[in-house]
Amino acid sequence: MVAELSTKLVAQVEQAAKLLRSAKQVCILSGAGISAESGIPTFRDKQTGLWENFSAEDLASPTAFARDPKLVWSWYQWRRELVQDKAPNPAHRALAKWQQGLALKNLASKQRLTLITQNVDDLHEQAGSEAIHLHGHLWRNRCSQCDSVFVESSANNEETKNAVEKIKRFSDELIACPQCGGYIRPDIVWFGESLPVEAWQQAEEAAANCEVFISIGTSSLVYPAAGLAQLAKQNGAKIIEINPNPTPSTVVDITLAAKAGAVMPLLVSTLEQSKS
Ligand code: NAD
Ligand code: ZN
């Protein structure tokens, strides 16, 4: 893996590890790019097949759902089918190893690491991490009208059981809310909607109080999440960005311009070595 990275990049990873070694609070924000190597397309990738004439911005919005709920629901069912068999990649796993304190046993009591994600997949959790989800969860559902959670496990009548089956089969048939009859939607924060209050408060607190902020695989275009790096910078943190492509972020101190799946294992093993 290291062979894929240039000497310059390896030196930059060491520089990043140096900053991280002395940090008591580290805040990490991950975006769609961290799941790209697991085979989940980002929003910047062109959509394929049936969906190639649609942009994500045109589908992931309350206006789109109000205009054509079946179209939006079908897109999410298609995304769920696409994501269902995907597994964490080395970037998710390296992060989990670090977070669990296995890699940094000696530092575990001194360092606090908060992982915030914009992703709606559960690959961080599958890898063993705890993450604050700013944009919701692909696998959860709620009512678009009365907001009640659609709890699959408590389906206690035939109609709801059938609905659960349809969701699991990735059927594009719309589901009616058992409480009010409104349409069920994915529990995801769409463009134009506000973020979950508690998750956002935790994210702001972690960003404002960290000494090092790492942004992994995010385009830094989607606000308010993109503002977290700025908040960290204003409070004196150093900013590290991991992304093979340039982003508009102007607050970055160290850019690690390579894929997260190559950089993260190296970064975590560099930290590990420095402690042994
Ligand atoms: P984005 O699609 O706007 O940008 C992805 C970024 O990842 C790009 O800057 C790209 O250069 C970078 N990237 C691509 N491959 C990479 C790799 N291997 N390693 C590191 N970086 C890589 O994604 P975003 O910034 O997260 O914001 C868009 C919105 O998309 C978010 O709200 C998120 O909820 C949603 N989204 C989520 C998923 C998911 O859950 N996996 C997938 C697509 C979109
Ligand atoms: Zn309802």
pLDDT digit string, tens, across residues 171-182: 999 999 988 999
Q: How confident is the model at residue 109 (pLDDT cuts 50, 70, 90)?
A: low
CA of 144 to the centre of ligand 2 (A): 7
The interaxial angle of helices 260-275 and 7-21, nearest 10 deg, is: 50
Enter the pTM of the model.
0.94
Ligand 1 binding site (Cβ under 6 Å of any ligand atom): 31-33, 35-37, 40, 42-44, 118-121, 135, 217-219, 221-222, 242-245, 247, 259-261
Is position 124 annotated as part of the catalytic site?
A: no
CATH architecture of 2-274: 3-Layer(aba) Sandwich (3.40)
Query: Are the C-beta atoms of residues 60 and 190 closer than 8 Å to each other?
Result: yes
Dihedral angle, C-alpha 40, 43, 46, 51, nearest 10 °: 80
Domain residue ranges in the chain:
2-274
Is pLDDT at 276 greater than 80 in this prediction?
no
The ligand that comes nearest to the alpha carbon of residue 183 is 2
92, 124, 133, 135: the catalytic one is 135
Using the mean position of ligand 2's atoms as its centre, give its distance from the Cα of residue 148 in Å.
6
* Contacts of residue 187, Cβ cutoff 8 Å, sequence gap at least 6: 136, 137, 140, 141, 142, 149
What does the pLDDT look like over 195-222, one tens digit per residue?
999 999 999 999 999 999 999 999 988 8
Mean of per-residue pLDDT scores for the chain: 91
pLDDT of amino acid 222: 86
User: 231-242 pLDDT, tens per residue?
Assistant: 999 999 999 999
By C-alpha distance, which of 19, 76, 5, 70 is closest to 239? Answer: 19
The residue among 156 and 271 whose pLDDT is bigger is 271
Query: What would the pLDDT profile of 116-125 be if each residue is shown by its tens digit?
Result: 999 999 999 9
For the chain, the straight-line distance linking the first and the last C-alpha, in angstroms and rounded, comes to 21
